[in-house]
Amino acid sequence: METNIMSRTDIETLSRTPAKRKWYSKMGLALFAMALPTFLYVLIFHYLPLGGLVIAFKDYSSFKGIFDSPWTSMGGFKHFYTFMTQPNFWSIVKNTLVLSVASIIFNSILPIIYALILNEVRIKKVKRVVQTIMYAPYFISVSVLVGMLFAFFKTDSGIFTRLFAFFGFDASNLMENPDYFCMIYVVSGLWQGLGWWSIVYMGSLANVDPNLHDAATIDGAGRFRRIIYVNLPQIVPLAIIMFIMSIGNILSVGFEKVYLMQLSTNLSSSEIIATYVYNISFPKGSSGMGQFSYATAIGLFNSVVNIIILCLANFVSRKVSDNSLW
């Protein structure tokens, strides 16, 4: 004798009355109506402007427009070839990579260490005060931050200038010295963003099962071992995802901060792809039009390299740790 066992899906399907089906239909339309503005926003302001990338392969003229401007020589790759064969190409790429890699390394490791240490603070009032102090610099604007750096480092009366002089170091005009540009950029960025970047790790540590700590304590594990073997594994998958996303922007160093810190004396270390694109798009002291096609080609080159590096980092992470973006 055969017994027909209905699945849960079949029971729910049969139990739906015409009124319920009508209600589900209305809910679907309501959800679609809520998602439609976001979809249109992304389509209009993020995807449609990508059509302008075609000027990277043309000698764009604002008088002729995008479609009537002539195509460049070398199969449309003239601007790419010009950029990669110019004398300061490797210098610009090197400066961009140095700032990016240094920022990624410190901004990936130190927030984890800070979150692990802060998570061990048992006095809640002290913990809240420390968190507030570390979060506060994040809300300082980039222009104010750079102004503070010039006040601290560039002038003879700056606090750090006097501090270094007290210990016998010549710290005058550090902002103009290209050898210190990367250090000042990375350290100031770390000071500004350390508290904010650690928020995601603090949230992950808050979800650690207390029973794991109890079991580790029973087995004789001290606080340091519990941090290494209980807390750290909890945030490793999140840290890997954050690291992959940072790798995907390895050539996209923050333009505003570098541009504001840039001086003629430190140009050998501060000229990166973003500032170079800006300078050729809006040349200083020139009433003529910028090289928009050339600048677009460089920006496209930058984006393609970032996408390739992101895919490679994601592939390696998936093979090594089973953690990836997709």
Q: What is the 3-state secondary structure (H, E, C) of the chain?
A: CCCCCCCHHHHHHHHCCHHHHHHHHHHHHHHHHHHHHHHHHHHHHHHHHHHHHHHHHECCECCCHHHHCCECCHHHCHHHHHHHHCCCHHHHHHHHHHHHHHHHHHHHHHHHHHHHHHHCCCCHHHHHHHHHHHHHHHHCCHHHHHHHHHHHHHCCCCHHHHHHHHCCCCCCCHHHCHHHHHHHHHHHHHHHHHHHHCHHHHHHHCCCCHHHHHHHHHCCCCHHHHHHHHHHHHHHHHHHHHHHHHHCCCCCCCHHHHHHHCCCCCHHHHCCHHHHHHHHHCCCCCCCCCCHHHHHHHHHHHHHHHHHHHHHHHHHHHHHHCCCCC
**What is the model's pLDDT at position 11?**
47
Secondary structure of residue 136 in the 3-state scheme: helix
What are the structure tokens assigned to 265, written together?
A: 């004396």
What are the structure tokens assigned to 288, written together?
A: 């003529």
Inter-CA distances, 227 with 20, 91, 175, 195, 266, Å: 51, 42, 39, 19, 42
pTM of the model: 0.80
**What is the model's pLDDT at position 168?**
75
**What is the model's pLDDT at position 19?**
61
What's the start-to-end Cα distance of the chain, in Å?
Answer: 48
Which residue from 229, 248, 232 is spatially nearest to 317, judged by alpha carbons? 248
Residue 58 sits at φ, ψ, to 5 deg, of -130, 165
What are the structure tokens assigned to 34, written together?
A: 């809520």
Q: What's the half-sphere exposure (Cβ side, CA atoms, 13 Å) at 46? A: 6
Cα 204–205–211 angle (5° rounding)? Answer: 120
What homologous superfamily does CATH list for 88-321?
Answer: MetI-like (1.10.3720.10)
Give the residues across from 58 on adjacent strands: 71
Domain coordinates in residue numbering, the chain: 11-75, 88-321
Query: 137 and 192 in contact (C-beta within 8 Å)?
Result: yes
**What is the model's pLDDT at position 155?**
67
Q: Which residues of the chain have pLDDT under 50?
A: 1-3, 6, 11, 14-15
Inter-CA distances, 325 with 101, 103, 237, 251, 260, Å: 20, 21, 11, 19, 34
